[in-house]
C-alpha cells in the first residue's frame, strides 16, 4: 500500500506528464468513452516515448503500485478497481507509418483506427478494423478484433506481425514470430496482461472496392427481417459479412436527418466482390422492401463509420454473448425482449454473423486464434442517470435470457465489465497464458482489462 505518492519523482524522469488527483486536469484526464465509468487510479502517466514508459513501469514497481495500460479507455469498465494502480495512458504515442508495397502498418500504441483507415483506402488497402473509428488499435488488437472482413481474414490480432513493448522488468523488447515467440503468442489475445505495448505492426489487405451498405426497415418488422436474415446466413460466402441490428436513435443533432429519433431494424453487409453478385446474395433481405437502402460500391474507407456507432463519449451499460446459432424461437424471444411492443429503450441490439475464418485455427495464430459460435450479440443502453441505467439493465437482462439457450461463450473485447477471463479460453490456452504470465510478469505488475494471473511455478 502506497502511503506517500511522490509522483513528482516520476514526473522528473518523464518528458510526458503525470496527472494525479490533486491536479487541475484530473477529471478530464481520467474520463473515458463510457461516461458512466468512474476511473480512480492512483495517478495517470502519459508517456511520450519508450523511455517514459520504462520510467513509469519502474516507478510503479518500486512504489508498490500495479500498472494498467490504456490507449483510449473504450474497455476501461472491465478494469475494476484501480486503487494502488498507475494508469499508463499511451494516447500520446501517435506515430503512423504505412508501407503500401509490403502492405504493413506500424503505429504507436495510442493510434485509433480513424487515423489509418482512410489513408489505407487511398492505397487500395483495408485493415481489419471494427465498427468504431474511435477505438484504439492497441486494445482492439490485444483482445482479438472482429470487424467487417473477419469472415474472410479472421481476427485482427492474427494479422499483427510484431509488437514493441516494455516488460515488467523495465526492458524494451520487439517481439514477433522469431523473437520471444511465446510472449508474441500470449499478447495476441491476452490483452494488457503481459507488458506495456508501445507500438504495433500489422498486415493489411488489398481491397479496391466493396459492395457494402445498410438496408433500413421499420422497427415493427424486426421479427420478419431477423427471420429472413438468420435463414440467409448459412448461404453466404466468407467474402460477405452481414450484421443485423435493432437501432433506436436519439433525437440529437449529430444523428443524420433520415434516422434521427427513429427506431429501425437494419441489415448491414460488406462484400468483397461485385455489386451484381452481392445483390444476388442479399436478394432475400432486399425482397422485404427496405425503406432506406444505402448499398453501393464503395472504397474501404466507407467501412470506417458504416456501423453508425456513437461518435462521441456517452454513458452506457451493455451486455454480450457469443451464440451457437439463433433458430426461429430464439429470434422470437429476442424480439419479445427488445423489439417492437417490448417498451425497450435499448439503443442497440446487434447480431454479427461469424463463422468463416473466425472459426478456422491457423498454426501461426496467437492465443485468440478463433471465436466460437455463429453469431456475436452486443447490446447497449444509454445510462444518463440511475433510473435510465436501471431500466436499461432490466432490458439487457431480458435480452440475455432470450439468447441464453444458445450462449456458447464470450468475446473479451465485447465484455465491458470485470469478468473471469478463464471463461474466454479453452483450458490448454488458459494454462499456457498463465505460464507465459509467470515467466514475464511473475509479480502480476500489469493489470490488463481481463486479468490473467501468473501460474504458480513449482
Ligand atoms: C463503440 C465501440 C465499438 C466497438 N467495436 C468493436 C468491433 O467492431 N470489434 C471488436 O472486436 N471490438 C469492438 N469494440 C471493443 C473494443 O475493441 C475493446 O473495447 C478494446 O479493448 C478497445 O481498445 P482501446 O485501446 O480502444 O481501449 P482501452 O480501454 O484503452 O484498452 C483496452 C485494454 O487493452 C489493453 N491495452 C490498451 N492499450 C495497451 C497498451 N498500450 N499496452 C498494453 N495493453 C494495452 C489494456 O488491457 C486495456 O485495458 C468496440 C467498443 C466500443 C466501445
State if residue 192 touches ligand 1 by the CB under 6 angstroms criterion. yes
**Ligand 1 atom with the shortest distance to the CA of 78:** 49
| Strand ranges of the sheet holding 85-89, from the earlier edge strand across to the other edge | 17-19, 43-46, 85-89, 66-70
Contact between 144 and 366 under an 8 Å Cβ cutoff? The reply is: no
Cell of 428: 490448454
Q: Measure 134 CA to ligand 1 centroid, in angstroms.
A: 10
Beta bridge partners of 105: 98, 202
- Mutation to probe ligand 1, out of 109, 136, 137, 270 (largest number of atoms < 8 A from CB): 136
Q: Measure 87 CA to ligand 1 centroid, in angstroms.
A: 15
Q: Measure 137 CA to ligand 1 centroid, in angstroms.
A: 7
**Ligand 1 atom with the shortest distance to the CA of 110:** 41
Cα torsion angle, 149, 150, 156, 158, sign:
negative
Per-residue pLDDT of the chain (458 residues; tens, 9 = 90+): 444 556 999 999 999 999 999 999 999 999 999 999 999 999 999 999 999 999 999 999 999 999 999 999 999 999 999 999 999 999 999 999 999 999 999 999 999 999 999 999 999 999 999 999 999 999 999 999 999 999 999 999 999 999 999 999 999 999 999 999 999 999 999 999 999 999 999 999 999 999 999 999 999 999 999 999 999 999 999 999 999 999 999 998 888 888 999 999 999 999 999 999 999 999 999 999 999 999 999 999 999 999 999 889 999 999 999 999 999 999 999 999 999 999 999 999 999 999 999 999 999 999 999 999 999 999 999 999 999 999 999 999 999 999 999 999 999 999 999 999 999 999 999 999 999 999 999 999 999 999 999 998 65
State if residue 142 touches ligand 1 by the CB under 6 angstroms criterion. yes
State if residue 75 touches ligand 1 by the CB under 6 angstroms criterion. yes
In three state form, how does the secondary structure of the chain look?
CCCCCCHHHHHHHCCCEEECCCCCCHHHHHCCCECCCCCCCCEEEECCCHHHHHHHHHHHHHCCCEEEEECCCCCHHHHCCCCCEEEEECCCCCCEEEECCCCEEEEECCCEHHHHHHHHHHCCEECCCCCCCCCEHHHHHHHCCCCCCHHHHCCHHHHEEEEEEECCCCCEEEEECCCCHHHHHHHCCCHHHCCEEEEEEEECEECCCEEEEEEEEEHHHHHHHHHHHHHHHHHCCCCEEEEEEEEECCCCCCCCCCCCCCEEEEEEEEECCCHHHHHHHCHHHHCCCCCEECCEEECHHHHCCCCCCCCCCECEEEEEEEECCCCHHHHHHHHHHHCCCCCCCCCEEEEEECCHHHHCCCCCCCCCCCCCCCEEEEEEEECCCHHHHHHHHHHHHHHHHHHHHHEEECCHHHCCCCCCHHHHCCHHHHHHHHHHHHHHCCCCCECCCCCCCCCCCC
**Ligand 1 atom with the shortest distance to the CA of 109:** 41
Q: Give the pLDDT of residue 1.
A: 46
Q: Give the pLDDT of residue 92.
A: 98
- Mutation to probe ligand 1, out of 85, 93, 135 (largest number of atoms < 8 A from CB): 135
**Ligand 1 atom with the shortest distance to the CA of 72:** 30
Q: Give the closest residue (by CA) to ligand 1 atom 15.
A: 413
State if residue 304 touches ligand 1 by the CB under 6 angstroms criterion. no
State how far the Cα of 296 lies from the Cα of 294, in Å rounded to an integer: 6
Average pLDDT across the chain, whole number: 96
Length of the chain, in residues: 458
Rounded to the nearest 10 degrees, the angle between the axes of helix 386-403 and helix 328-338 is 170
What are the phi and psi torsion angles at 369 (to 5°)? -80, -40
Lookup result for grid cell 477471463 = 421
Q: Give the pLDDT of residue 8.
A: 94
Q: Give the closest residue (by CA) to ligand 1 atom 7.
A: 130
Contact between 312 and 114 under an 8 Å Cβ cutoff? The reply is: no
Contact between 325 and 354 under an 8 Å Cβ cutoff? The reply is: no
Amino acid at each position: 500500500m502506497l502511503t506517500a505518492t511522490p509522483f513528482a519523482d516520476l514526473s522528473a524522469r518523464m518528458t510526458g506528464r503525470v496527472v494525479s488527483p490533486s491536479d487541475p486536469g484530473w477529471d478530464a484526464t481520467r474520463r473515458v468513452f463510457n461516461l458512466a465509468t468512474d476511473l480512480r487510479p492512483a495517478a495517470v502517466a502519459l508517456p511520450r516515448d519508450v523511455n517514459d514508459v520504462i520510467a513509469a513501469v519502474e516507478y510503479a514497481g518500486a512504489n508498490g503500485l500495479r500498472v494498467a495500460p490504456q490507449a483510449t479507455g473504450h474497455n476501461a469498465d472491465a478494469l475494476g478497481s484501480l486503487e494502488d494502480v498507475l494508469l499508463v495512458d499511451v494516447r500520446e504515442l501517435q506515430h503512423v507509418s504505412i508501407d503500401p508495397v509490403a502492405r504493413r502498418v506500424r503505429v504507436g500504441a495510442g493510434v485509433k483506427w480513424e487515423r489509418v483507415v482512410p489513408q489505407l483506402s487511398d492505397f487500395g488497402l483495408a485493415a481489419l478494423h471494427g465498427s468504431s473509428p474511435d477505438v484504439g488499435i492497441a486494445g482492439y488488437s490485444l483482445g482479438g478484433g472482429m470487424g467487417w472482413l473477419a469472415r474472410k481474414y479472421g481476427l485482427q490480432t492474427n494479422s499483427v506481425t510484431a509488437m514493441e513493448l516494455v516488460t515488467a522488468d523495465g526492458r524494451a523488447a520487439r517481439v514477433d514470430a522469431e523473437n520471444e515467440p511465446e510472449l508474441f503468442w500470449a499478447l495476441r489475445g491476452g490483452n494488457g496482461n503481459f507488458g506495456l505495448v508501445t507500438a504495433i505492426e500489422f498486415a493489411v489487405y488489398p481491397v479496391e472496392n466493396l459492395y457494402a451498405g445498410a438496408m433500413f426497415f421499420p422497427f415493427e418488422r424486426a421479427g420478419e427481417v431477423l427471420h429472413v436474415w438468420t435463414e440467409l446466413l448459412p448461404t453466404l460466402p466468407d467474402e460477405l459479412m452481414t450484421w443485423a441490428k435493432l437501432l433506436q436513435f436519439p433525437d440529437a443533432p449529430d444523428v443524420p436527418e433520415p434516422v434521427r429519433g427513429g427506431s429501425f431494424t437494419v441489415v448491414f453487409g460488406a462484400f468483397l466482390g461485385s455489386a451484381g453478385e452481392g445483390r444476388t446474395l442479399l436478394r432475400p433481405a432486399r425482397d422485404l422492401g427496405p425503406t432506406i437502402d444505402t448499398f453501393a460500391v464503395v472504397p474501404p474507407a466507407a467501412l470506417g463509420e458504416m456501423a453508425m456507432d456513437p461518435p462521441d463519449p456517452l454513458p452506457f451499460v451493455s451486455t454480450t454473448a457469443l451464440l451457437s446459432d439463433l433458430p426461429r424461437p430464439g429470434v422470437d424471444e429476442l424480439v419479445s425482449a427488445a423489439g417492437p411492443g417490448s417498451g425497450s429503450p435499448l439503443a442497440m441490439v446487434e447480431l454479427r454473423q461469424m463463422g468463416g475464418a473466425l472459426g478456422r485455427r491457423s498454426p501461426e495464430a496467437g492465443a485468440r486464434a478463433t471465436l466460437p459460435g455463429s453469431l456475436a450479440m452486443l447490446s447497449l443502453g444509454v445510462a444518463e442517470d440511475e433510473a435510465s441505467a436501471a431500466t436499461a439493465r432490466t432490458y439487457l437482462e431480458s435480452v440475455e435470457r432470450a439468447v441464453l439457450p444458445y450462449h456458447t461463450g464470450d468475446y473479451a473485447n465485447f465484455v465491458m465489465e470485470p469478468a473471469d477471463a478463464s471463461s474466454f479460453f479453452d483450458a490448454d490456452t488458459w494454462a499456457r497464458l498463465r505460464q507465459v504470465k509467470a515467466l514475464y510478469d511473475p509479480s502480476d505488475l500489469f493489470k490488463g482489462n481481463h486479468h490473467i494471473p501468473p501460474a504458480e511455478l513449482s
